[in-house]
Structures are given as structure tokens and as C-alpha cells.
Structure 1
Amino acid sequence: MSTDQPPFRDPRLPARERADDLLGRLTLDERVAMLHQFAPAVERLGLPAFRTGQEALHGVAWMGPATVFPQAVGLGATWNDDLVRRVGEAVGREVRAMRARDPRVGLNVWAPTVNLLRHPLWGRNEEGYSEDPHLTAAIATAYTRGLRGDHPTRWRTAPVLKHWLSHNNETDRDTSSASVRPRVLHEYELPAFRGPVRAGAVAGVMPAYNLVNGRPNHLSPLLSEQLRTWCDHDLVVCSDAGAPSNLADSQAYFADHEEATAAALRAGVDSFTDHGEDSSVITARVRGALDRGLLEEADVDAAVRRLLAMRCALGDLDPEPGPQDDAAFDTAGHRALAREAAEQAVVLLKNDGLLPLAEGVRVAVVGLLADECKLDWYSGALLHRSTPLDGLRERFGADRVTFAEGADRVRLRCPGGWLTDPGTGPGKDGDGTGDPAAAGALDPALLRGRTDLPPLEVRAEPAAGGEFALVDWGGGVLTLRAECGRYLSVADDGFLRASADQPGGWIVQETFELRPHGEGYLLWHRGTGRYLTVAADGARVAADGEEGAVFAVETVERGEDAVRAAAEDADVVVVVAGNDPHINGRETEDRTTLALPPQQDRLWRAAREANPRTALVLTSAYPYAVGDADAALPALLWTAHGGQAAGAALAAVLAGDVPPGGRLPQTWYASDADLPGLLDYDVIGSRTTYLYFDGTPLYPFGHGLSYTSFSYGGLTASHDGRTLTVRCTVANTGEQTGDEVVQLYVRAVETAGPDLPRPHRALAGHRRIRLAPGASREVEFAVPLSEALGFWDVAHGRWTVAPGTYGVDVGASSTDLRAGATVRVGGEAPGPRPVGSIRAADYDEQRGTALVDLGRERGDAVAPAGEEEAELVFRDCGFGSGTASVTVEAAREEPGEAVVVLRAGDGAPVHLTVPSTGDRYAYTTVRAALPEPPEGTGDLRVTLRGSLRLARLGFGDPSSAESS
């Protein structure tokens, strides 16, 4: 390279050194400008514009056509780290290829989502990999390694993990607080992030909208205390969209935006995603904070340095192309990989011999998703498209496969006649001409919102265009599809048209509700929150003060009847049910039930009634409770929405061309009654996920069947104090080639120390292998002993492996364990809990409490979660030879008093009164003498009565005791 280039242009220098050089050349205004997502160019230095943020969850999203891989939860279901690494590599190369022709495509990719799938009603379940931290970390590490590439210093893309931290609800997502106690934090939440960060393939994280323990995630002290200690390169923190403004707006955590922006920057946020492409608002807030002394230039420099180091690693400042600028787009390899990923994501839930399908069989493929290839909010537009119907027809022959969708065919009568689509009749594509097959490949955004198509109108008599396919997606949420194949949608002008290829968009304009009114219904449009009305110029949403039209629904054909007719005339029926990823469970919207929508429940029942040889395929972004189907049908399968090759992949598995080998990445519960509260993040206390669930799931974590059988033998387990080594031999004892996912679980059997709740078993390793009939393979796992067997010891504030006996099991799922052994771990047993000063947040058990922020910047306190009294329990406290006083540190914002009641061991309760301190962060110390000083070791119970925040408590010397 030329010797006259400044150091920041020299790719031979370390990224930090280059960033420091460039930082010193920038003015303060130029540095401040770089804090916004859309950093402007600096022409005097030849710096290009740069933006953080390119969605790439399972392919390049939002930038037009790209290879679409299975949803993230489907990639998790493969349990195949190598496959997912190859998917990440393909996505990274497509990012590079798309950027070469469109500079708006960013190299800082916001993917993957590593939030744990703690609760299956989370609307964004499709975005995560698993409910288990080990599996999530392993799959995320694989994907980010592919995105990043293998070069030691040059990054193909810069992955950012979403969403830090404990984000698993859409309901009130910007104002709700997750109460996360230390054991859940260290044993469950942090490991999912720590694994990929330590692997060196992560450029940064994005904080979540919600609060954790009362403090917004964009102010999380764990960004510096934990995250940035896990690797030796500079991690960038990119805010979520609009979240910086939430700090002073919806969260009201600060009085003004300058104070909020300064606090976020000091906490470690580097890039502010706020106010779209308009950076002036954020830069003005930063300058205002500097002027007020809320920030120093060093705070700005720290953030900009990290951003510049990332840009240097990406080659953004290099004078010439370099390694990992390799670009590839829609190659034969990418297409084959998309199909392989979709095949490996299919999970066989049940099979009583119906599958695989025999050659020459006559198949009826039915159901609302039988001829669909659904996308989600983070999908790219389809380059290729394969539905289950497509796949089965290609595999078995079009003459051997029949189809019935199962939607109800209806007419809508209103004042003056029948609602009719006048624009197109059957068999026409998006603009009224041409090949109808082409319409399926269109980006939905090309049609949604069109105003050049004629609005629906009212005709006196039923006519062509007056029949609609009605689908009830559950909860009364409907879509209506016209005879031309497009969905009814409302554009910005308020008129109703058949203009959408699929439901979609940030605000879905294709969903409706029929609300009873008199002898008919009002048709409510969910996107605008208005009723539909009809007038001479066409159907539209009603204006303010205008009444909606009353509709009568005439059913032309029931979906069950069409399904029943198709099923009767087939050898085998494949019912394809599931969800539309834009409806009833998505970003901004949690689900309300595990139940399959009633319309789809009726369809599989109708199919089985007509033909017992019926298989149910659930194509969905999340689990369902389908106990009746499991009991009634001979075969069930699940796959997440599988991307562009979904249909061909499913057909290959149904035919036995590809062995089913996917495994469930989360528990499928039997009913809603098995679920904790949506906002209950305490997996230990609520006894949830496979780690703690005490009930019987419908399908357990790790479950998945095969068309062959496997045996396990020769298990050995040992450790050298650092590494747990487990070996076993797995053999294919069946007659077909098959995939087995060998799963290693560990559990505490008998350990020293306090009797604390530990997981029933925890995944410590996994390996997907393919074996021919009669073949066998030795599988070896080598896992860090401390990570596998340890727990967070709240009594001493450290990670601990208690001495004792541990079980080591291998098998095909968390409940199908085929071989086991035990190992013993020596060492010193944890001692009793010191009682001189106990953090209230370090409890062992609780009832009716919530963790809250001790102060705005750091620390946790405990408060009653409601009006009722609350309780904390601290086990195995070492009171020694007797302590004569107790101290409580607490705050009470409201007027009046609160009471803390302590009972140590078998002693009498002691009441301490906490006066009003006038501020939730103003703590006072209250002391009291103990009439019966506790001795030895015992439990401490603390009852909270009234509104207060408890920070600490402790037992001390009698000379310091004062009654209060």
C-alpha cells in the first residue's frame, strides 16, 4: 500500500490502533455525529457514511430478494452446529454481495437473537433458538462464526446479539420489568450471551426495550461488569429502535432526554438508533449533555473508538478490498443449503407406522398452510418458493396428489347488495394479467398499499369477485382473500382493496374481526381500529362519527367439507396447520393460548373422520398444545417456517428420502395451565422450562423420533478437575439410515451444602450424527467441569461446584435417557451464609416480591410486588455464637411507615419500622436489639409489610444495637 496513507488506513495495524489514530483526527462535532445509527461521511478525511444495523436473522432481510433459510427456532431444531455455521457463512456472503450493488445494505448485522425461549407464548418465539442456554449459546456461536468469517482480523460482517437482557415478552415490552434473581441471571440468562462472545465471533449486543430489576436495559451495569469482560476486542452496543427516547418518555426514568442520553452513553451504549435517519435529535441531546456537564468528551470518545474499531475490522476504512470481502448470492450452494437446513429442521413428533409414505401412494394434502410458504417480519423476499403442495406433487407426481385448503368460502351481504372485488377475476395475477404463478413470488410490499386497484364495491346480485376465502386465525382474527388470490387490505387512503399477496407489514392491514351487531356483523379492521362501511365510491373504513355497515355472512362452502371430500378419496392425508407469522404472535404481540385455532382444529378432525390414515404437520413459529391430535392421529410432525425450500424439504422427509432428525428446542406443554405468568422470569421459583418443570409435557425438550432405531452403550464418565469427559457408543439398530442427536445431560445427585433447588437435569453437550443401518460411532464430549456442574452461590456471591455426586446421562431427549453414570467431585463444601451484611436480592426463596433498582446506575433491592405482605427466605445462615442486634437498610418513598419482620432460626420475630425517606433511592438504616440472639446455623425469614425497598440486612455486635 502507499506509504503516504495515514495509519487509520493501514489494514496491517490493529483495529484499536487505527481507531485511535482516526479518533484524534476528528472534531468533536464529527465524533458526536458518529454516535447515531446513521453516521455521516467525513469528506475531508475520505470517510464514507456508515450505519449500524442490517437485519440478518435467517437470511438478509428488508433489502429485497435474498436466500431465505428456516426461521431461527427452526435452525435451533436442527441441533447441528456445523450446519448453522454454514448458514451464517452463506448469509454473510450474501450481505457482502448485496452491499456491492446497494450501499444501503449494512455490514453490522443485527443477528442472532439469543433470548431464551422461556415462555412459549412470547410473540417473538420464532426469533430465538431454544429455551436452553447451552443449546442457544452453541447455535448462536455457530451462526456468528459464519457471519464473522475465519480471518483472524478481518470480519466478513459484524454480528450483534439481540436483546440484552431477559427479554421474553411483547406485552408492555418497553415499560415492564423482568425480576431476575442472581441465580437465574448467572445460571440461565448470561450463559446464552457469554458463549458466543467468548468464542470471539460477536461484535456487540443490542439492549432490549424492557427493564430488568426496575432498571432499563439501556442502562444495564452488566454491560461493563459482565459483557465487556468476556472477550479481548471492543464490543459495540447498539440501541434498539427508539429505546433511547423511551428512557425519558414511556419509561419516565429520567426527567429529560439530555440526562437520559448521557446516562445511556455512560452505561456503555455506543450507537443510538432513534428518530430514523434524522441524527439531529440525538446529536443535539449529546451536545446539550456535554454543555450541562452530564458528559465528558472522554465518554463520547470511548463510544466512538469502539465504533471505529468495528469499522476497521470490517475493512470499511481500507483503501483496497481485502480478505472476507468474498461475495456470493443465490448460488446453487446456497439453494442446496437452504433445503438441507429445512430438511434437518423437521421434527417427527409421533409415528405409529404411517410414515414414511410408500411409493405410488395417493396423497391428499389439506389445510390452511398446505399451499403456503410463509415469511416473517425478519425475512427477505423470496427468490424461490416451495410449499408442501409443491413438494409433494414434485415428489409423488401431480396426478397422485390432491389439495383442499380448508378455508371457508363466504359471501358478504351488506346494505345494497353483495361486497365484490371488481378488479380481477380468478386466475389473474397482481396487475390483472399474466401468469398467476408469478404472483406467488412477488414481494408482498410490491402489492400492499396499492391505490391503483379499484376498491371493493357493492353489487345488487352475487357476481364474479364476490366470493372470499375466510380464515379464522384464532381469537376472532380473520383474513379474507378474494378470488384473484390476493388478500383484502386497507391502504393509506382508507379504501378496501384486494391488494396484498400476503398479510404483513409492521402494522398488518389485512386482518379483521366480525363483531356481532343486531342480526348481522360489523366488520372491524384491526390495522386502523375502524369499522368498514360502504358508499358509492367503494368500501372503506368509516370516518370519525360514521357508522360501520352491517354485514351478513353467507357460507358457500365450509372448509371441513372440502377437506373431508379430499380425504375420502386418498390413501393418506397430510394436514398442514400452523400460524401466519404476522398474525396472533409476532413482534409487539404475544400469544394468548397454546391451543390450535378452532378452525384448524376442526380441519384435522374432519380429515381423520374421513380417513384415519392422517398425519398432522404443524408449521409454526412456536409450540401448540395438541394433545387430542396426538391421541387420535398416527403421525405428527413439526417444523418452523422453513424458508424458500420448506415444501420440498417436508416432502423429502415424509417420503423417507431424508431421515427425520430434528429435535424440539423447547418444551411443548400439554395445556395453558402448565405455563407460568408471562412476566414471571424466575424459572427456578416458577418451576418452568425442562430444567425445573415438575409436570408431564406433551413433548419434552429434545424430543424427536426417527424412521430407524438406535442403541447406546459403553458409557464412561470422568474428570480431571477441569474437564468432564464423557464417551458412549451409538449404533443404528434399524433398517434405514438415520440421524440421531446424542444429548448429554448432567444433574446433581447428592452434594454438600444447603439444600437448594437444582435442575432436574441440564444439557451439557449435543452431537448430531448420521448412521447407516448396522453402523456405530463413539461420541465423545469434553465440557468444562465448572460450567457443567456449577451453580451461582448467592450466599457467597460466586460460581461454585459443590463437592458430591453428579449424574451423567446420555440419550435421545431430556426424558429418553439411554445410559447413565455418576462422577464424584471433591473439594471443600460451601460454608454457611455470612450474616454480617446480606444483600436482600441474594435470597434463596421468595413470595410476593420483585427485584427493583437500588439506584439509577447499579445495584438491586427487593420490594413487595403488590399490596399483600411479601416474604424472603435465606437458607443456612451462620449466626455463630449469637448476635444481639439486627440492621436493615431500606427506603420508603411514600409518606408513612413500613415494617420489616425478621425471624432468625427458631427465635422470636423482630419488628423494624422503616420511616418515609421521601425518595425511592434514599436509604435509611434501622437497627434493633434481638431479645433472643440466634446461634449456630439456621434459616432467616424476612417479611415485608407496606411499600419499601429493602437493600441489605445484617446481624451485628450488641454494642451497636439501637432500638428503632
Structure 2
Amino acid sequence: MTDGPPPFRDPALSVDERVADLLGRLTLDERLAMLHQFAPAVPRLGLPAFRTGQEALHGVAWMGGATVFPQAVGLGATWDDELVRAVGEAAGREVRAMRESDERVGLNVWSPTVNLLRHPLWGRNEEGYAEDPALTAALATAYTRGLRGDHPDYWRTAPVLKHWLAHNHEERRDTASTSVRPRVLHEYELPAFRGPVAAGAVAGVMPAYNLVNGRPNHLSPLLASELRTWTELPLVVCSDAGAPSNIAGSQGYLPDHERGLAAALRAGVDSFTDHGEDPAPTVARLTEALRRGLITEGDVDTAVGRLLGMRFRLGQFDPELDPYVADAAFDTPAHRELALRAAEKAVVLLKNDGLLPLAPGTRVAVVGPLADEVKLDWYSGSLLRRSSPLDGLRAHQGVAGVEFADGADVVRLRTASGFVRVPAGGPDLELTAAAALDPALLRGRTDLPPLTADAAPADATELRLVDWGHGVLTLRAPDGGYLSVADDGLVRASAAEPGGWVVQETFALEPHGGGHLLRHRGTGNHVCVAAGRLKVAAEGETGEVFFVETVERGADAVAAAAAGADVVLVVAGNDPHINGRETEDRLTLALPPAQDRLWRAAHAANPRTALVLVSSYPYAVPEADATLPALLWTAHGGQAAGEALARVLCGDVSPAGRLPQTWYADDAELPGILDYDLIAARATYLYYDGTPLYPFGHGLSYTSFDHADLTVTATDETLTAEVTVTNTGAVAGDEVVQLYAAALEPSVPRPHQWLIGHRRVTLTSGESRRLTFTVPARSALGFWDVAHGRWAVEPGAYAVRVGASSRDIRQAATVKLTGEPVGPRPVRRAGLAAVDYDESEGVRIVDRDPVVGDAVAAPDDGTEALLRFRACDFGASGASGAGGAGGAGGAEGGGTGRVRLLAAREEPGDGRVELRVPDLGLTLSFDVPSTGDRYVYTPVTTELPGPLGGVHDVELALYGPLRLDRLDLT
């Protein structure tokens, strides 16, 4: 009799049973090795190697050619859940297909990014869906459902959401701490993650690089207290690349790497992405942490068990039963059509005074730096096919003719030794300095004579210079190759596009000696000439002085092309690798000055000019909006971007994209990029009090829609709204129906209104449809009640509004809910946690201790930090002191006569806290002595002048570097 296969090989058993059996067969060393991103094979058990991490944000990335869909922010602009789900399914099918021929392709997919687009200067704006948590959650749920598949037991891929938590900046992204107050946490940040996780389509999350409230996200206690309570699925937490080493490294949060990794494992991190493909440092640190008692074998088994559970669900141990083996597909006609449809649906018509759609037979000038580009980003796959705006319009039968000008300045570069030229024969050849120019012409000169045809040698190369703003430029040779710097330091016209983790194709001109030094931004060094070749200067070498001779101004070429056309399309925007990308936030909302000059030149030559913005983020273009008859925006739309744009411009498709974030008119309207308190900062459409350039949800159409007969019914559990939408125009089109709610009698500041539902519907001319929205009233209408530490729905009236944008409301109704009265803060019974303030000035939220909890810190410079707490119930009134302590609404008996603060001060000397009850004129002062450690808290107690009762507002003022945990009254 022979033994059968071990239980972990038995698909009839549950995943938990199989995981338990397999864990019992693995040695401790084998289990520790599985905690690294690159888990090795275990041949004795027949286990293959496994890698966590495969990027697939808008198609499969980093693995060569794949179907490239619009950027995530472009998918967000579609407001179309079903479309986004289809894109997720296509990406998942291509992951499966590509894995069949390349085992490096992983099934643990690190997508989508659900960080909210709170601040439009974020360098990674292209990666998120929207500034609104409900829209983000809906689209992320759709995308992950597509990636995951529908089989009850097996998963197509295992999606991981990025990046937990409050990650919307690149400035000091691994060392900056963001203060996230409880209301912002529960009402804004967490819902974007909770939606897809609770829907059961998510395998895990990735923590972000930054710190939140003073604690690294890789040590976030919310992984246990929030994330893992939303689902019964054992979620996997995968670290971001290099982040485990940051804990004791750049962050200096813990004293050594063993403590850092141990703390991350205990907090809930399961897979450590560190040191590339080499697991040795991670395994060594975890092994030492185990020896020192910082972690237990149980901690290791918990993490490994979650990772193995994911592998079982991916069918790794049951290939014969895996339904997604046959489902794999790559670059199919259906995927190509989907890429086109997604790009069409992502186009947003910002303004149209009748210029669009283009009439058949129109002669078009397509101009600008993005006119003949299909830009990729850091998380794109390689293009299998390409359609630029120029390609799309040239191929469209309705366009009579197309003129093109990219708007680049045509320049020659010369030095004292000669002109720069690119030898014929291919883009990979070195640049050389032609020696045909008499050096005497330059000797002692600080200016140069005008360039003439006979002054330059015939082989001096004309380069196309594009100024991307902030002094950043690219130079392109006539054959299309971008000037780039390779590992050997030589400059070549060798790159097809700017790209890479360190972009090697960007330069800056710095005035020097009557000319310019040419700085290579990738290395930070100047360009010099050595042995007739251009190279990046090494240490001790000086840069060459270059003189820029302009052969043709880009604005002149644009004006010339515009003058002879019926309509001009200025295609401007960004390159996703330049001036705003991972590691680099943008500095301004403004269009680069060189691009601003292009639309002005085009409009001066031809008033029938439209500005088409192709970008990863919003711009502030109020003058273009006031001047031009039409403006459009689309994110970088992937492989079919040009064809899609042409079909929209020519009226084959009526545009119906909607803005997924607010477009502001000026930088001055933005808070600081590290200011995450959108309530106090009045940020995003939820709180913004000004007039946006274009509001959240905005987008026009070639047809018109009527919204009528809104009816709303609500209980404390469910809200149902119905509305009839009719296409009242002459052509078919999509309408994006947006459902908003607003609290009409809130006890605390609430958003102006917030999105609770949306639907994109296609209607033919004259067609009507009755739409029904049903949402859970508690989650849709509630808020985080800091006074009682709970989610609550206040009783009272709520407006329910239907509109075409957040500022274009067409129908409204009012409902009343019984809700649950909030009531005053039970201060006598529960005290006051410092972080649960209603308003603050000048405070930072910090970690109460390295493991869990938040405290509030005062500035180090001794300036006042202020906390305000509304409606604090001190209990039933007693004998009044300090001028009489009364007040209505006191619900608790006993009165209060003593106040105790719990505070810490690491620095020598005393800090000070003042307790103020303004309506009583009462002020008490507390001296906080040094405790020698930021995490060591001491009680500081003061007697009240007499018993204090009733309901009052309270202020706490903090002076000097100290941390305040809480206040208790006895």
C-alpha cells in the first residue's frame, strides 16, 4: 500500500485546511524565506517559486508589449463601473497569458491605486481614480472584480490595493508625516479602501512609504483594527519596495533593522519587498529578530499562512482545476476594441461654443508638443500599436486635410570648438562637435552674430527643443531619437522617449559666459566635449559652454500652420516622466509657458482654435477658457488615444467623460501638499468654498439631457432615489447621472454635498430611462462622531440632489431621518482624547507610542497650538465657581472639581498647557515637566476653583514641545 498525496494537495479540502497541512511540513527556514517578495521553491515538497508583485495599473506593465489602456485617472474620468471592470478583466487575462511564456510575470497584481486625488499637484496623480472616496471605491471595486474573476474558489489574479494610507504627495515621501484627524480618516481616507475590500475582490493592500500621525504606514495599527475587520478573507499585506529598511533607515523610527522588520511583521506585513531579488538580508534580519524574541514562530506562521492561502486561491497547486488557464488571452481584437472604447469614454469636453464637432471636410491644423505623441508612464506596458492625435485625424475620413507642427523650437548647438552634429547612420551613434566653425569667431565674445546659412557647416544638426517648464527641456534629433545619457556617460541620440526610473533624456540650460552650460538632469552634471564627443562631465571636469542658435521658433511654425486651416487643435499637456511623476510633485497648476505661447500664437492666427489638454493631471487655464471657443481634456489614453480623440472631435462619439477631480483656476486656491485636513483647508469639491475653473463631475456633450421626476424615500437603513433621464438633443450620447447628498442641519461642519451614487447611461435621441439608486443610508449619510468615537447618522433633514456635475444640480428633494442624536461629549465619564478635537490651529498629530494610538503635539518653537472641543458635558451643575459654572444640557451627575492631563515632554524644562472654558472666563494652567522620552507620559493634575457642571466649549492651548494624550475630569 502506498501513501496518497498529502492533504495540501487535496482540492476537496478547504483552503484553511490545506494551508495548515502545508505549514506543518515546512521547516522554519523555509517559512522565513517565504516572507520575502521572491519566495524560493521548495523542491522536496514540489512547491514552485513565487513572487509577489506584478504591476497592472492600466494594462500589464514592465513585462514588454501588452494592451495599453488609458491611465487610471482617465479610467476615473469615464465614471463607468462596467467599463472599468472589463478593463480589469482584460488586464488579468493578459497577465495569465504572458505568464505562460514568461515565469517572471506574477499573479499577485499590485493594482489599483486607490489613493484619493486630494491635491492636484501630486506627482502620481495619474495613478488614482478620483478625489471622491465613493467614486474611487466604486471604480476600484469594478477593476479588482475584473482582475479577480468570478469563480467562487479560484482567482484570475490576486489584486493588491495601493497605498495604505493617506498617500497623496511625493515631497519627502519616505520621511514626511501627515496629520490625519479621525474625521478625515473615517469619512475620507478609509472608505476608498473599505469599498473594494468589503466587496471581496481584493487579496490585500500595500502600505505607503510615508508616515501617518508620526508612525510609518508599514507599522500602521489600522491594518489590524480596520482593514482586516472588513472581510473574512485573510488579506495579504505586501510592503512597498525598500520600505522595510526605511523603518530603521531613512525614517529612523526604530534603532535597528531587526526591530524594524519585527515591528512590521507584528503589525501585519506579510511579504517584504526589499533588496531586489535577494532575500538574504531580509531573512537574516527576521531570523535574528526571532532569536532575540522580537517575534515568535506564530508571527511567522500567521504571515506565511496568509501568503500560502493566496497561492492556493490562485490555483498554483491545482493547475488542472484552474479555470483561468484556458481563459488567458493576449492582444485580442476584443482587447483592442476595449482600449479604443475606454479612450473614447475618457475624453472630457470642458468648453464648447459650437466649434465642435468638426464638420465633414474640415481642414485641420494639429499642433503642439503632444500632437504626434502617445506618451507612456512609469506603470505602462510597451505599446504593441500606436495612434497619436495626428494619426487619428489623418486616418479619419471626415477630415479634408491635416497640417502639423509640433511647436518645438528648431535649434543648433555650437561651442568654441564647433557645432554639435549627429552623424548619419542611426540614433545610437555618438554626438560629435563639428570643427568647421572658426574658433576666432567666438574668442572674447559674449554675444554671437546671427546664424546664417553659410556660418554653419552642412552637417550641423538641427535639434528640436521642447521646453517642459521649470527649465526642463528635451532635445530630439531629426531621426526622432532623444538625446540621452547611457551608463558610459556619453550623450547619444538614442532614446525613443523620455523614461526610466531616472530619466536620462532631460537637460537644463544654465546661463554662463555669454552662453549656457548644459546640465544633464539625470546625473546632475554638466555636459562637456572630450575627444570630439559629448559626455557628462566627471568629477573635476568642467562643462562646455554651449551657444543656442534658433533656426525656427515653434510658435511661428504653429501660427503658420494655423493660418491656413479651418480649425486649429493645439494639443498640449505633459510627459508623464517629466515635472510630476513618482518621487516628484508638480510645482504649479499652470501650463508650461512655452505651451501657453503656442495656443496664443495659434489663436492669434486663427480664432477657430481649440485647446486639447492631454495630461496626467489638471491645469489652471482660466485665460484659455475665457479666450478659446473649445477646450477638451483627456488623460494619456493608451494605444488607441489618437483614434479615440479623432472620433470624438469629428462627432462619431459624443463626449461624455466627467472630471474626477476639481480643476482650480490658480495655485493660490490650493492648500499645502502636506495638509491632509481637507475640512480645515476647505479642499476638494467637498469643502471648497470658491468657484472652480471646472467643478468635480463636469463634462459637456454634443447632445442635451433632461432630469425629471426625482423621488426619494429613506429609512434609517436604506435610501432610494429614482429619476427619469431623457436625451433631449439630436444625437445619441451618454449621460453621467450624479447623485449627491447634503446635511441641511448638521451639528458639525459637513461637506457642501457628497457623491452617493452615479450611473453612466447611453440614450438615443429622444430616449428616456427611469434610473433607480439604492444606497445604505447609514454609510451614505453618516459621519464620524468624534465626541463619541463612532459612525453616526444625525436626525434631521437631508437634501438628495441629481445633477450633471457637483455644481450643475438639476433636481433636488428633501428627506428626514430619525437618526441618532449625537449629544454632548461625555467628558466626565470618558474624558477627552486630544486627537478627537473639533477644530485645531498649529498642531501636529503624532504617535502616542510606537505601536498604537495618537496624540497631539505642539510646535517646537513654543508658539501656541490650539484645540477646540465643542459641547463638553461636565455633568450636573453643582456649586458654581469661577464666576458660576452653569449651562443647560448637562446629562451626567456629580459635577467636576479636578482636571488631569496625560502629557509627555522629551526635552529638558517645562512645557505648558492651558485649559480654557471661554463662556465662563475660566483658564487653568498646567506645567508639563520633562519626562525624558516622547513616549513616557506623566499625569499633571489641577484642582478647579469649584465644581464645574453643565455643557461648555473647551479650549486646550499647548506651548512648547510636548505631546498631549488626553484630559480626564474627576
TM class, shorter-chain normalised? over 0.9
User: Which residue number in structure 2 is paired with residue 454 of structure 1?
Assistant: 430
Structure 2 residue matching 1:24: 3-state secondary structure = helix
CA distance, structure 2, for counterparts of residue 13 and residue 83 of structure 1: 36
User: Which residue number in structure 2 is paired with residue 640 of structure 1?
Assistant: 635
Contact 2:361 2:399 in 1 (8 A): no
Say if 2:814 is the partner of 1:819: no
Alignment of 1:67-216 (within 5 A): 67-216=67-216
Say if 2:879 is the partner of 1:847: no
User: Which residue number in structure 2 is paired with residue 439 of structure 1?
Assistant: none
Residue 861 of structure 1: which of 855, 866, 878 is its match? Answer: 855
User: Which residue number in structure 2 is paired with residue 38 of structure 1?
Assistant: 38
User: Which residue number in structure 2 is paired with residue 292 of structure 1?
Assistant: 292
User: Which residue number in structure 1 is paired with residue 373 of structure 2?
Assistant: 372
CA distance, structure 1, for counterparts of residue 700 and residue 4 of structure 2: 64
Task: Give the aligned residue type for 1:857.
Answer: V
Gaps of 5+ in 1: 425-430, 433-451, 957-964
Say if 2:208 is the partner of 1:232: no
1:492 Cα deviation from its structure 2 partner: 0.5
Say if 2:495 is the partner of 1:491: no
User: Which residue number in structure 2 is paired with residue 428 of structure 1?
Assistant: none
1:319 Cα deviation from its structure 2 partner: 4.9
Structure 2 residue matching 1:507: 3-state secondary structure = coil
User: Which residue number in structure 1 is paired with residue 422 of structure 2?
Assistant: 421
Residue 899 of structure 2: which of 886, 890, 895 is its match? Answer: 886
Structure 2 residue matching 1:750: 3-state secondary structure = coil
Structure 1 residue matching 2:633: 3-state secondary structure = strand
Structure 2 residue matching 1:400: 3-state secondary structure = strand
Task: Give the aligned residue type for 2:395.
Answer: E
Structure 1 residue matching 2:419: 3-state secondary structure = strand
CA distance, structure 2, for counterparts of residue 704 and residue 3 of structure 1: 66
Structure 1 residue matching 2:805: 3-state secondary structure = coil
Q: Deviations over 1:794-825 (max 9, x none)?
A: 00000000000000000100000000000000
1:866 Cα deviation from its structure 2 partner: 4.9
Residue 561 of structure 1: which of 539, 552, 556 is its match? Answer: 556
Gaps of 5+ in 2: 437-455, 878-894
Q: Deviations over 1:27-78 (max 9, x none)?
A: 0000000000000000000000000000000000000000000000000000
Q: Deviations over 1:738-790 (max 9, x none)?
A: 11100000000024xxx311000000000000111111101110001011110
1:680 Cα deviation from its structure 2 partner: 0.2
User: Which residue number in structure 2 is paired with residue 475 of structure 1?
Assistant: 470
Give the TM-score taking structure 1 as reference length: 0.95
Task: Give the aligned residue type for 1:507.
Answer: V
1:397 Cα deviation from its structure 2 partner: 6.7
User: Which residue number in structure 1 is paired with residue 50 of structure 2?
Assistant: 50
Runs of 4+ in 1 over 3 A off after TM superposition: 396-399, 455-459, 461-465
CA distance, structure 2, for counterparts of residue 66 and residue 159 of structure 1: 18
Give the TM-score taking structure 2 as reference length: 0.95
Structure 2 residue matching 1:629: 3-state secondary structure = helix
User: Which residue number in structure 1 is paired with residue 449 of structure 2?
Assistant: none
Q: Deviations over 1:140-180 (max 9, x none)?
A: 00000000000011000000000000001111000000100
User: Which residue number in structure 2 is paired with residue 550 of structure 1?
Assistant: 545
Residue 910 of structure 1: which of 924, 929, 950 is its match? Answer: 924
Contact 1:420 1:463 in 2 (8 A): no
CA distance, structure 2, for counterparts of residue 303 and residue 515 of structure 1: 53
Residue 809 of structure 1: which of 801, 812, 816 is its match? Answer: 801
CA distance, structure 2, for counterparts of residue 159 and residue 511 of structure 1: 34
Alignment of 1:386-785 (within 5 A): 386-396=387-397, 400-424=401-425, 431=426, 453-460=429-436, 461-464=456-459, 466-751=461-746, 755-785=747-777
Structure 2 residue matching 1:371: 3-state secondary structure = coil
1:399 Cα deviation from its structure 2 partner: 5.8
Say if 2:891 is the partner of 1:897: no
1:11 Cα deviation from its structure 2 partner: 2.5
Structure 1 residue matching 2:458: 3-state secondary structure = coil
Contact 1:465 1:482 in 2 (8 A): no
User: Which residue number in structure 1 is paired with residue 331 of structure 2?
Assistant: 330
Contact 2:484 2:491 in 1 (8 A): yes
Task: Give the aligned residue type for 1:488.
Answer: L
User: Which residue number in structure 2 is paired with residue 219 of structure 1?
Assistant: 219
**Compared with structure 1, are the counterparts of its residues 420 and 397 closer, same or farther at alpha carbon in structure 2 (3 Å cutoff)?**
farther
Task: Give the aligned residue type for 1:168.
Answer: N
User: Which residue number in structure 1 is paired with residue 248 of structure 2?
Assistant: 248
CA distance, structure 1, for counterparts of residue 319 and residue 97 of structure 2: 19
Task: Give the aligned residue type for 2:671.
Answer: P
CA distance, structure 2, for counterparts of residue 493 and residue 465 of structure 1: 24
Structure 2 residue matching 1:564: 3-state secondary structure = helix
Identify the range of structure 1 (926-935 vs 810-819) with the bigger mean alpha-carbon deviation. Answer: 926-935
RMSD: 1.2
1:402 Cα deviation from its structure 2 partner: 1.1
Identity of aligned residues (%): 69
Identify the range of structure 1 (164-173 vs 880-889) with the bigger mean alpha-carbon deviation. Answer: 880-889
CA distance, structure 2, for counterparts of residue 342 and residue 13 of structure 1: 44
Q: Deviations over 1:901-954 (max 9, x none)?
A: 001242321000000000000000000011254431111000000000000012
Say if 2:355 is the partner of 1:354: yes
Q: Deviations over 1:662-690 (max 9, x none)?
A: 00000000100000001000011111000
1:3 Cα deviation from its structure 2 partner: 8.9
User: Which residue number in structure 2 is paired with residue 962 of structure 1?
Assistant: none
1:327 Cα deviation from its structure 2 partner: 0.5
CA distance, structure 1, for counterparts of residue 280 and residue 793 of structure 2: 52
Identify the range of structure 1 (455-464 vs 629-638) with the bigger mean alpha-carbon deviation. Answer: 455-464
CA distance, structure 1, for counterparts of residue 251 and residue 474 of structure 2: 35
**Compared with structure 1, are the counterparts of its residues 399 and 824 closer, same or farther at alpha carbon in structure 2 (3 Å cutoff)?**
closer
**Compared with structure 1, are the counterparts of its residues 498 and 756 closer, same or farther at alpha carbon in structure 2 (3 Å cutoff)?**
same
User: Which residue number in structure 2 is paired with residue 345 of structure 1?
Assistant: 346
Structure 2 residue matching 1:85: 3-state secondary structure = helix
Task: Give the aligned residue type for 1:835.
Answer: V
Contact 2:362 2:400 in 1 (8 A): no
Contact 2:362 2:398 in 1 (8 A): no
Contact 1:724 1:784 in 2 (8 A): yes
1:721 Cα deviation from its structure 2 partner: 2.2
**Compared with structure 1, are the counterparts of its residues 828 and 227 closer, same or farther at alpha carbon in structure 2 (3 Å cutoff)?**
closer
Identify the range of structure 1 (412-421 vs 630-639) with the bigger mean alpha-carbon deviation. Answer: 412-421
Structure 1 residue matching 2:945: 3-state secondary structure = coil
Structure 2 residue matching 1:56: 3-state secondary structure = coil
Structure 2 residue matching 1:88: 3-state secondary structure = helix
Task: Give the aligned residue type for 2:734.
Answer: D
CA distance, structure 2, for counterparts of residue 878 and residue 380 of structure 1: 59
Task: Give the aligned residue type for 1:858.
Answer: V
1:830 Cα deviation from its structure 2 partner: 1.2
Contact 1:465 1:483 in 2 (8 A): no
Contact 1:743 1:811 in 2 (8 A): yes
Say if 2:778 is the partner of 1:786: yes
1:18 Cα deviation from its structure 2 partner: 1.3
Task: Give the aligned residue type for 2:843.
Answer: T
Contact 1:141 1:195 in 2 (8 A): yes
CA distance, structure 2, for counterparts of residue 537 and residue 18 of structure 1: 67
Contact 1:9 1:319 in 2 (8 A): no
Structure 1 residue matching 2:189: 3-state secondary structure = helix
Identify the range of structure 1 (730-739 vs 14-23) with the bigger mean alpha-carbon deviation. Answer: 14-23
